[in-house]
């Protein structure tokens, strides 16, 4: 199979779809890999690294799309990339279509087949290709939230972990999945007063045991969230409904009961955000203020740590890329229903019900 890796062009995005190690394995299996020049520059990988692995380095993104059948990316395609997609292409990347009708319409019009990392499941029902970036985002959320709490960044002027004789910050984490768990690890480790909210009592019990009493847990009822918001200094939104738009757990009116200079970090922004006042931001301008509350809503948080993120994502995606290349999509999907759950768009139709329902496009379901 002919496989292409274009350079990522989203703002402040330096990750790359395949590492040289995965390229080498693909070439060893008889596949051709086309990599755009400088695609790995943001993670200290040179064109020569890719040539040594057996890739053909080409001088433009257009050359990648013209040469390849299977396109491997990290972030959702930008409009100029969507325009390069043809019906014979298979695109394999993060898509996050539920809050993005324009991207969805573009992909449908292209006729391409589009597989989303974030809706693939494993045998236990987990999301194996979302997990590594959720780990990064969860850990980052505490770091960026702690920074935003400092007065020069517009925050209250509070040190997350406090000091002897001065109480630490109060941290709310909404969601006990992978991101929430890793956010809790960081916040607890820094000495914050941390409460995690989730709707699954079994998950709350698991986390309570895992943290040995260092993490408070709370069932995520509306009244409990409101009570927590009154005292919270940092609120981390880590809610996920696979493939669908995130529910709005904090409403605009709720900001009135929060402390001025408190901080919201919305990890769920890729799926539309779990705060009503969230809007996607970039690493260049990561925050904005609404009603005195600082919002951090960067849509590609792991892109700030591209080396860590590239290798973590590459290790997770490699087995799936190999299956697609070695067996073709139909055979790979036939033997792995969880992999098939990644299919979001094919032949101008939507194939993921959660996406279609979130966008009101049920009439375009295959």
Helices 131-148 & 178-189, crossing angle to 10 degrees? 40
Give the residues across from 349 on adjacent strands: 346
Burial label for 202, CB within 10 Å (0-12, 13-18, 19+), is: exposed
Please state the separation of Cα 72 from the chain's center in Å.
Answer: 16
Half-sphere exposure of 97 (CA within 13 A, CB side): 30
Give the residues across from 194 on adjacent strands: 171
User: How is 300-342 classified by DSSP, letter by letter?
Assistant: TGGGGSHHHHHHHHHHHHHHHHHHHHHH-HHHHHHH-HHHHTT
Burial 111-137 (b: 16+ CB within 10 A, else e): ebbbbbbbbbbeeeeebbbbbbbbbbb
At residue 195, the 3 state secondary structure works out as: strand
> Cβ distance 188 to 215 under 8 Å?
yes
**Number of helical (H) and strand (E) elements in the chain, helices listed first:** 13, 15
Among 219, 302, 245, residue whose Cα is nearest residue 98: 245
Give the residues across from 265 on adjacent strands: 236, 296
Residues labelled catalytic: 96, 270
């Amino acid at each position: 199979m002919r496989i292409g890796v274009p350079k990522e062009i989203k703002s402040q995005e330096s990750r790359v779809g395949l590492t040289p190690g995965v390229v080498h394995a693909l070439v060893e299996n008889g596949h051709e890999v086309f990599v755009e020049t400088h695609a790995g520059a943001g993670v200290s990988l040179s064109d020569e690294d890719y040539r040594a692995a057996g890739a053909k380095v080409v001088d433009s993104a257009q050359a990648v799309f013209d040469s390849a059948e299977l396109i491997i990316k990290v972030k959702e395609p930008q409009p100029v990339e969507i325009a390069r997609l043809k019906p014979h292409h298979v695109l394999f990347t993060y898509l996050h279509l539920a809050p993005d009708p324009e991207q969805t319409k573009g992909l449908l019009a292209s006729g391409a087949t589009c597989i989303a990392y974030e809706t693939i499941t494993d045998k236990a029902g987990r999301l194996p290709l979302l997990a590594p970036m959720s780990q990064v985002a969860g850990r980052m959320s505490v770091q960026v939230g702690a920074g935003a709490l400092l007065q020069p960044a517009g925050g209250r002027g509070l040190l997350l972990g406090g000091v002897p004789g001065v109480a630490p910050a109060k941290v709310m984490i909404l969601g006990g999945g992978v991101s929430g768990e890793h956010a809790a690890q960081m916040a607890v480790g820094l000495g914050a007063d941390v409460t995690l909210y989730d709707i699954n009592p079994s998950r709350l019990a698991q986390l309570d045991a895992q943290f040995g009493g260092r993490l408070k847990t709370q069932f995520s009822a509306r009244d409990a969230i409101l009570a927590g918001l009154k005292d919270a200094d940092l609120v981390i939104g880590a809610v996920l409904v696979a493939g669908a738009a995130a529910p709005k757990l904090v409403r605009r009116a709720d900001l009135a009961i929060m402390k001025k200079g408190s901080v919201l970090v919305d990890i769920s922004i890729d799926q539309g955000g779990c705060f009503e006042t969230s809007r996607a931001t970039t690493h260049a301008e990561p925050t904005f203020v609404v009603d005195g509350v600082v919002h951090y809503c960067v849509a590609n948080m792991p892109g700030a740590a591209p080396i860590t993120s590239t290798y973590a994502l590459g290790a997770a995606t490699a087995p799936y890329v190999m299956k697609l290349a070695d067996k073709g999509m139909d055979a790979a999907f036939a033997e792995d229903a969880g992999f098939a759950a990644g299919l979001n768009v094919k032949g101008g139709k939507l194939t993921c019900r959660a996406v279609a329902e979130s966008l009101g496009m049920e009439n375009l379901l295959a």
